[in-house]
Structure 1
C-alpha cells in the first residue's frame, strides 16, 4: 500500500509518503514546512492565529500531494503543541473541515513508542541505550536495548517552551543557563532514577537538532542518505560550547545550521549537555529516523 504520514510538530510539519510492503518501507516523497505552531504563546497553551492559519494552509498543500501520489492510508499525528493547546481541538476540527485531514492527537507515551519504532529500524541501537527526541513542545526519553523498549517518558521541556521561558539575552546569559539547569533538575528526577537502574551509556539523538549537530560535525555528510551516524563526544562538546556562547547573528552565519534552528539549537545544546553530564553518557549517535518513520514501520506490523 501507499501510505502518507503527517507529523504535526511544534516547530515543523513533516509529510512522508512511502510504499509499505510486508516489513519494508520505501520512501517515495518527503518534505517539511517550518509552520512554528508553538510560536509566541506555547507556554500559555495557545496556538496564535497566525500559526493556526499557517498550519491549516500547510495541511491543504499536503493533502494535494497525498492525492497526487494516490496514498490509500493517511496517518496525521499531532504532538505537544496541539495536545496542550486550549484551542487544539479547534485546530483538529479546522484541519478536518478545511483540509480534509483527520488528525490523531497522541499522548507523550504514544509518541515515545513511535520514536522507538523509528530508531529501532535504523539498527543503531547497540546494547542498553537512551533515545532522546528534542521537540519544540516536549522531549521524549526512551531506555531500550536492541529488542525491547524498557522505559519511556515524555517531558514538557521542548526547545520552543524553554526558549520562550528562559532565552532572554543574546548570547544566552549564564543566569538563563542556570535557570534552565534548575528547571531540568526538578523535571527529570524520574529519568535519573530510571537511568540509575538501567545505566545506559549510549545516547541516541532522534533527528531534529541532532541532525544539525551531525551536519556541523561530520563534513560532507549527506543527512538525507543515511539512517544513523556515530558522533564524536569531544567534538560535540566543542561545538555545543561554540553554539551556546555565540550571538544570533554569528550562528546565522554558520554553515549547515538551518534558519529554524538558529536559536533553538542553543537550547538543544544545553539540554543535550545536561543529559550527557548527569547520566554519564560515553557514546553519542544520530538516528535520522524518528516518529514519522516509526509510524510507517508500525503500519508494516512491526512491534517494539
Structure 2
C-alpha cells in the first residue's frame, strides 16, 4: 500500500437497512473534501421476511438497480479507494451471501458486512469528524434495523452498543400500513424500552456532557420539529417530541399529520423511528440532542483514508488482542517476518491486503494458548471469528480465523468454507505460508533464521535452505517432515532440501 497522493478520490458506500448512501471525497492537503453525495431510499429491511429471514426478490432488484447506478460513478476508481459495507439487514438475512455476490457485481466493488460494534465505531468516527468538541459525548444513530449508542471522549469511543431496533423494523412491527394509535405507540415504546434495559444503567452511570444524533431518522425528526417551531434548528428536545406525538396520535398517521418538513419518502418509517428516538431519550434521560451531518459513511471515508495513510485501526486492534491474550509478541513477530518473507518471494509486488492478513494472522496465531494448549489453534480461530474487532469486517475476521485455524495440525479444506468463495484459494495459500513459518520457528529460538528460498508450482511447494543448515537442525527437519505429511493429506506436496542437494 502506498501513501495517499494529493487529489486522490476515495468513496464509501453504506448499504443501510433503510437507505443506501454513496459519498465521494477528494484528498486536499491531507484532508478529505466531500465532492459528491447520493442517497436512495431502498428500504432493505422492509423486504426481509420475518419468518424465513430471506430478502424478497423485489427488494433485491430495487437494491441492485441502486448499486448499478452507484457503480457507474465508481467504475473508474481502483478497489483500494472504495469501501462498501452492509449493516443490520445484511447481517440478519439468511440469503445475504447470494445477494452480496450479485450486489458486488452490480457495484463493481467488494462489499463487506460489518458487525454492530464496528458499525457503531464507524458512526462515532463520522460524527466526531463533523462536530468538533471537547468532553464526553453520547452519540445515537437510528438505522433501519438497528440503533447504535456510543459514549466517547474526543475522537475515541469508549463504550459501544448496537441494539436490534430501527425505524423500519419498529414501523413494521407496531405501525403496519402507517396507522398510529395510542395502543400501538405504547407497544412500540415498551418494546424499545425493553431493548434499552440492558444498557440503561451502565450508560447513565458513565454519563456525558452532550448528546448527538446522527443519520436519517434523527435528521428527519429535527427538520420536522424546526419546521413546526417546536425546537431550535438542528436540535431535538423532549418537549418538541411530546408535541410531535400529540399531532401524530390526533391525526392517526404521519401522512395525515401534514407535518411541514417531512419528506414523502420518510412517511412509511417515520412513526417507528420517532418511537425509538423518543423512548431512547426518555430512558437515558436526554432532554436535548444536537444533530450531526456526519454518520457512518463519513466514518467509512475517514477510516479508508487512515488505512491508506498507514494509520489503520486494525493494526491497533491486533496489538490489543495480543496484549489481552498474553501473546509472546517476540516469537509472533519472528513468525510474521518469515511468513512475510516467503510471500515476498512469491509475489514481490503484492500491493493488496494479503500481506496484512498474513502478518496479522501470524501475530495472532497463538492467542488460543491463553485458553488452553490443547487445540489452541481452534480456540484462537473461535476468538477471531466472534470477537468485536474494531476496523475488521465479518469477512476479514473469517479470513483471520481460517488462517489461525489452519496454521497447524490437519490442513482441512473445509476450514476455508467460511471465507468468501472468491478468496478461498488465496487464503489457503497464505495458510500454507503461515504453517511453514510456524514450523520453522517451532523451537522458539531467537537466533536468526536463514530465509529459505520458496517456490510454488501448482500444489507442489519447495523450500531450499543454505548448504548444511538442515543437517545442523535435525529437529527442524522432523518438523518439516511432519508438515509434509499433513499437507499431503490435503493434496499438496512439500519438498525441502539445501543448496548442496540440488
If the TM-score is normalised by the length of the shorter chain, which range does it land in? 0.7 to 0.9
Instruction: State how far apart, in whole Å, the 1-side matches of 2:34 and 2:95 are.
Output: 33
Identify, as 1 or 2, the structure richer in strand.
1
Q: Report whether the alignment pairs 1:256 with 2:261.
A: yes
CA contact (8 A) 1:17 1:27 kept: yes
The residue number in structure 1 matching 2:141 is: 133
Instruction: State how far apart, in whole Å, the 2-side matches of 1:12 and 1:137 are.
Output: 11
TM-score by length of 1: 0.88
Post-superposition offset of 1:17: 0.9
Instruction: State how far apart, in whole Å, the 1-side matches of 2:175 and 2:26 are.
Output: 42
Gapped runs of 5+ residues in structure 1?
A: 221-227
The residue number in structure 1 matching 2:294 is: 289
Bigger drift between 200-209 and 238-247 goes to 238-247
The match for 1:191 among 181, 191, 199 is 199
Post-superposition offset of 1:234: 2.8
Q: Specify whether residues 60 and 237 from structure 1 end up closer, same or farther in structure 2 by C-alpha distance, changes over 3 A only.
A: same
Q: Over residues 203-253 of structure 1, what are the superposed CA-to-partner deviations in whole Å (9 max), with x where a residue is unaligned?
A: 211021121122223359xxxxxxx944454334323432454324324x4
Aligned-residue RMSD, C-alpha: 2.6
Instruction: State how far apart, in whole Å, the 2-side matches of 1:21 and 1:287 are.
Output: 23
4+ aligned runs moved over 4 Å, structure 1: 68-72
The residue number in structure 1 matching 2:37 is: 30
Corresponding residue SS for 1:196: helix
Q: Specify whether residues 250 and 14 from structure 1 end up closer, same or farther in structure 2 by C-alpha distance, changes over 3 A only.
A: same
Corresponding residue SS for 2:202: helix
Higher Rg = 2
Q: Specify whether residues 63 and 276 from structure 1 end up closer, same or farther in structure 2 by C-alpha distance, changes over 3 A only.
A: same
Q: Specify whether residues 70 and 229 from structure 1 end up closer, same or farther in structure 2 by C-alpha distance, changes over 3 A only.
A: farther
Post-superposition offset of 1:144: 1.6
Corresponding residue SS for 1:294: helix
CA contact (8 A) 1:201 1:282 kept: no
TM-score by length of 2: 0.55
Gapped runs of 5+ residues in structure 2?
A: 1-7, 314-389, 391-502
The residue number in structure 1 matching 2:61 is: 53
Corresponding residue SS for 1:298: helix
The match for 2:71 among 43, 56, 63 is 63
The residue number in structure 1 matching 2:119 is: 111
Post-superposition offset of 1:191: 1.8
Instruction: State how far apart, in whole Å, the 1-side matches of 2:106 and 2:287 are.
Output: 49
Bigger drift between 67-76 and 267-276 goes to 67-76
* Number of aligned residue pairs: 297
Bigger drift between 116-125 and 211-220 goes to 211-220
Instruction: Kindly report which structure 2 residues correspond to 1:236-275, keeping only aligned pairs within 5 A, or say none.
Output: 236-246=241-251, 247-251=253-257, 253-275=258-280
